[in-house]
Amino acid sequence: AQSVTQPDIHITVSEGASLELRCNYSYGATPYLFWYVQSPGQGLQLLLKYFSGDTLVQGIKGFEAEFKRSQSSFNLRKPSVHWSDAAEYFCAVGSGTASKLTFGTGTRLQVTL
């Protein structure tokens, strides 16, 4: 069964500092990996996705993520955080054909000014 672990429940960073959110997955085949962001009381917005090819993927809002098969990881990074990035971030894994996504428990990001 597929699973996703986001080990950090809550992270606080200063505005302008760099950010890395961790994600580890468990999946028997080639994973399809996603990062979504959720503002309070809102739906999920897709930040980026990895299906195949280049292991460093670029997303919206200046985010990027790197797929490392050997570590079963798909960490999200941003070189300089803005106060508007404060939200909850979810990593998810899919099977590649239309089917359910399995989500991690999320990481809440707080940005201090």
Partner 1 sequence: EAGVTQSPTHLIKTRGQQATLRCSPISGHTSVYWYQQALGLGLQFLLWYDEGEERNRGNFPPRFSGRQFPNYSSELNVNALELEDSALYLCASSLVSLLGAGTDTQYFGPGTRLTVL
Instruction: Give the shortest CB-75-to-partner 1 separation in angstroms.
Output: 19
Cβ(109)–Cβ(6) below 8 Å: no
Residue 10 binds to partner 1 (criterion: CB under 8 A) = no
Site for partner 1 in 74-103 (CB under 8 A): 90, 94, 96-103
Cβ(19)–Cβ(77) below 8 Å: yes
Nearer to partner 1, 21 or 102 (CB): 102
Site for partner 1 in 24-43 (CB under 8 A): 32, 34, 36, 41-43
Label residue 62 exposed, middle or buried (CB < 10 Å: 0-12, 13-18, 19+): middle
